[in-house]
Amino acid sequence: MPTTRFSRRSFLRFSLIASVSASAPLYIPRHVLGTQSIPPANERIGIGGIGIGRRGLQLFDELPNLGRIVAIADVNLPRAEKTAEPYKAAAYQDYRKLLERKDVDAIITATPDHWRAIVCIHACQAGKDIYAEKPMTLTIHEGRKIVEAVRKYKRVFQTGSQQRSMAANRLGCELVRNGRIGKVHTVIAANYPSPWECNFPGQPVPPGLDWDMWCGPTEPVPYHIDIYTPRARPGWISFRPYSGGEMTGWGAHGLDQIQWALGTDDTGPVEIWTEGPKFNPPTYTQPEPRTRGEKICSEPKVFFKYANGVVVKLDNGPPGGAIFVGDKGRITIDRGKFTVEPKELGDPPYDDFTVHLPVSNHHLLNWLECIKTREKPVAHEEIGHRSTTLCHLGNIARWVGRTLKWDPVNERFVGDDEANQFLDRPRRKPYLLPEV
């Protein structure tokens, strides 16, 4: 099926109004009848957006014609109303009101990480399918609970790891999986920094923003624009209460490609350790760039070891993938591209491949099509959970500062009660995670 894109501008362009009189032939607009690129209105999937800021708006601009936006929810009500206006959609401050709507078949959520699990599980309980941005969760425990909810309520779930819908990434991973570089023994990833702490002075809360609800399950702190903004000076992505830092930010992309290329989507490493100085995160008391915090929080270096002996090192690899080193050569995979050394190992033909990875050329379209067929998308809930778990394991290894044995079946550290305490985080009432 050809890739289609549907922006807010094109929505307005196709929203035609027909004038009908007794003497004039009945004119039915093309967007109602349906065409190859625009399905009939009753065949389009009703989409609700929850937590629609920078990334959410990008996803809306990429939404194919198979979906139609009918409602927006955001703790910043003026932003929800502004976003909803061009779609003639309803706007809410409380996402639970959106989940009550019968015309919302599915949701797209791009909330901050500390909110994502609660929204996803509530959406499952409300019978909605889900596209959830990466990283899928704030903790490992949250990921397993999302997987359980998706399966219990038979939902279609796509994680926003969009590199699984890029042809170059798919072919690069297939080359690794089909042995073009021989047996892989080492993988070099980017050295993603872990999050640090913040203690900012307060600022006036903008009108229409429910700051207490934005804090949600975390302990409330005074509002500050450089906490509220994702990547600013430095923004919530860098702060531990709300995120796993770039370990889960960019790491959710790069480490996901490692899982894909190694064929470990249903498992994970068995050992994690660190090498270098003790982890010593700073506390930002005033806004400043991410540079200082990221430099400090990139130490110590993190290593993962899989059951088959492959060792992953967070070092100087590309942010959107990794360098895969085998006994015949190496493949470097990054966002939308790959290189092979020696070059001829990556050349066609590929008729010797025995492993063929799922094909998707548009991440949102893949999700929407799977809503129709009820099949698993290319980055379904278990894939998203396992890839995000790898990110969380890297952070936990830095926090405890010693070698950890990981049981990927039971998803617990072996014989380490302290490390197991980091499998989840405390939540304040009433923003508790549904456990059953």
- Using alpha carbons, select from 270, 260, 261 the residue that is nearest to residue 380: 260
User: Considering only CA atoms, which of 104, 105, 79, 103 is closest in space to residue 93?
Assistant: 79
* pLDDT (0 to 100) of residue 37: 61
Q: Are strands 271-275 and 337-341 parallel, antiparallel or unpaired?
A: unpaired
Q: Which among 205, 207, 213 has a CA at the least distance from the CA of 75?
A: 213
Give 308's Cβ-side CA count (13 Å radius). 12
Tokens of 424: 């989840």
Phi/psi at 172 (5° precision): -60, -45
Distance CA 321, CA 334 (A): 4
Enter the tokens of residue 384.
């998203």
**Rounded distance between C-alpha atoms, residue 4 and residue 37, angstroms:** 7
Mind listing the pLDDT tens digit for each residue in 273-330? 999 999 999 999 999 999 999 999 999 999 999 999 999 999 999 999 999 999 999 9
Neighbours of 398 (CB within 10 A): 24
Any idea of the CA torsion for 239, 245, 249, 253, to the nearest 10 degrees? -170
pLDDT of res. 124: 98
CA–CA dist 308, 267 (Å, integer): 12
Instruction: Give the whole-angstrom CA distance, residue 36 versus residue 87.
Output: 21
Distance (Å, whole) CA 267 – CA 383:
9
Nearest to 107 by CA among 161, 155, 42: 155
Q: Is 173 helix (H, G, I), strand (E, B) or coil?
A: helix
Helix, strand or coil, per DSSP, at residue 11: helix
Q: Which residues contact 405 (CB under 8 A, 6 or more apart)?
A: 270, 271, 413, 414, 415, 416
Instruction: Determine the Cα–Cα distance for residues 234 and 238; give it in Å rounded to an integer.
Output: 6
The segments of the chain whose pLDDT lies below 50 read 1-36
CA distance 180 to 334: 18
Token pair of 405 as six digits:
């044995």
- Provide the whole-model pTM: 0.90
Q: What is the model's pLDDT at position 41?
A: 64
What DSSP character marks residue 421? G
Segment holding 313, helix H or strand E:
strand 311-315
